[in-house]
Amino acid sequence: MKAFLPLVTLFIVVSFAGCAANNGNEAGSFGQRYAGVNLNGTYTGAYAYDNGAPEARDASNVSFRMKITQQNGDATFRGAVDEAYSGFGTKKDNRLWAEVRGEVTRKGNTIYVHFEKTYLYFNQEAVVYDGVYNPATRQIEGKWKLSGGTGNFKMRVVTH
């Protein structure tokens, strides 16, 4: 059951490596790399499990805080996450901790944010997040997935 939880550790999955290989000239399913948005800041949000997932009974919404750091003129970013302990993994200070790496792309007028969350202090596959960024509200909303589980997430900047 624990393998189906939307959390990760110590491995950055192949899909991010594929994103990193995109040099900005290639158009993927989410468009071309886009450095025209500043994601820097601290976000609060929550993720939920899709109905039918075994974990949905135990953790319908898991709150988290994410700090994103993005260099000016770069479409890639890094971050750190701490989230409510939901009964699995190794907690530290009664929270779960993770790192994220991602990139921003744009197709037409839509800005996409893709990142992978890798949990610290225990091993689990990376969780892949794909969302749409709304510059007016500085909110990212989308889906997360890993083998055996999917769900929704929403996060909004609280400090720049």
The CATH number given to whatever domain includes residue 24 is: 2.40.128.120
CB 100 within 8 A of CB 66: yes
pLDDT > 80? residue 38: yes
Of 139, 158, 154, the closest CA to residue 45 belongs to: 154
Query: pTM of the entire structure?
Result: 0.78
pLDDT score of 54: 52
Out of 50-54, 74-78, 133-137, least confident range? 50-54
CA 37, CA 82: separation in Å to the nearest integer? 24
Q: Which domain holds residue 29?
A: 2-159
pLDDT at 107 over 80: yes
Q: How confident is the model at residue 160 (pLDDT cuts 50, 70, 90)?
A: confident
- How many Cα atoms sit within 13 Å of 36 on the Cβ side? 13
Phi/psi-derived region of residue 109, left when phi > 0, alpha when psi is between -120 and 50, beta in every other case: alpha
Q: How many domains does the chain have?
A: 1
Tokens of 28: 């993927």
Q: What confidence tier does 59 reach under pLDDT thresholds 50, 70, 90?
A: low
